[in-house]
Amino acid sequence: MENPISVDIINSIQESRCSTLSQPSHSNFAISGLPWHIRTNNQGILSIQEMEFLENHLQLVELMAFEEIEIQLTVHSPNVFLVIVMEGFFKYYHNDMLSFYGMGNCMYMAYIPQTILHLKANKGKHSILVLALEKNWLQPAPRPYPQISSLPAALASNSSEIIMLPMCAVKEPAKTLWTSMLRVRTNLMVHQIKLGNNIVQLIEYYHEQLQQGKILKKQLHVETANTIFEYIHTNLFIDSKLTLENMAYDIGISVWKLREYSDLLLGQSIHKYVRDLRMLNAKWLLETSNFPVGKIAIMTGYSNLPYFYQTFRQYFEVSPNLYRKTIRKKI
């Protein structure tokens, strides 16, 4: 399958390619053995890894946005897509209208004709795995998978309408399946067969969720999801601000509801999500700046320096000072 979809930052000013060993600092869902294609502008960094297997096409897209950013998706030919949003929150616009949205720890399937979509993402980290399915894989779908039969039907008729099926939470065993898809094995044929088997199991899992009514539609409104995401990233580096109590009070919801929404939106607790983002930012500052470690701790939201050292060591299994020395020796 030729690349069915291309992804780019609007007004990107630089494009580069990293080797299979030079993992970008913002990437934490890397597919081992594949190079990164990187596009940047003043608003963010976008990296893409992609591969073809058994006439399907897989793309891993990771975005670090420094502020609200707009991404253009060009769908070159009609396709059925299986999409897993690992983290973050995307709003999809078509003809300047909000068409649908995707949020972290969720999956969905969609038919998209040849068209251009615009994705808007707020400040923060966003990661999405996109699988374009070869049409012959979907020919028998109406019988074993009646809940998704509208997708191959739209593809067969070359429909001009976007069809977006409901989002479902990514839970076990689906989470294990997509995680295993990020590992490239040395035997290419074995790896492709394994990927194909994983896709079938993910489709079966998704279909079961639809049959059982386990969908996320209307559980979290787009406005609420947007507010939570914006609040976190506005206050990301303010140590005293990001408590559940402060956040729930400022947003105007209960603490227990905030916990429930964070599981839906982020796929983990707010504490772990904030820690991950702060650690990635600290790592990037250690690599690219000459700021003292104490200043980097404050810049990334840690007013307690010993706690910053402890968290960094637990996260990267090395101290901040030693990490900086190791990186600079490689340079």
Return the domain boundaries, the chain.
Answer: 5-211, 222-330
Helices marked H in 134-183 — which ranges?
150-156, 174-180
Kindly report the CA angle at 42 between 38 and 45, in degrees rounded to 5?
A: 25
Chain mean pLDDT for the chain: 83
How far apart CA 113 and CA 91 sit, in angstroms, is 18
In CATH terms, is domain 5-211 a member of 3.50.50.60? Answer: no
The answer, yes or no, to whether residue 121 has pLDDT greater than 60, is: yes
What pTM was computed for the model? 0.69
Range 288-311 average pLDDT: 93
Question: Tokens representing 79?
Answer: 């396709």
Helices marked H in the chain — which ranges?
150-156, 174-180, 188-211, 222-234, 244-251, 255-266, 270-288, 293-299, 305-316, 320-330
Question: Tokens representing 50?
Answer: 């992609």
pLDDT tens across 200-219, in order? 888 888 988 998 888 875 55
First-to-last alpha carbon distance for the chain, in angstroms, is 38
pLDDT tens across 245-263, in order? 999 999 899 999 888 888 7
Question: Tokens representing 156?
Answer: 């067969």
Q: Confidence band (pLDDT; 50, 70, 90) for 27? A: confident
Residue 47: the pLDDT is: 92
The answer, yes or no, to whether residue 321 has pLDDT greater than 90, is: yes
The domain 222-330 is placed in CATH, from the list 3.30.70.790, 1.10.260.40, 1.10.10.60, 3.10.110.10, at: 1.10.10.60
Range 312-326 average pLDDT: 92
Same fold: 5-211 with 222-330: no
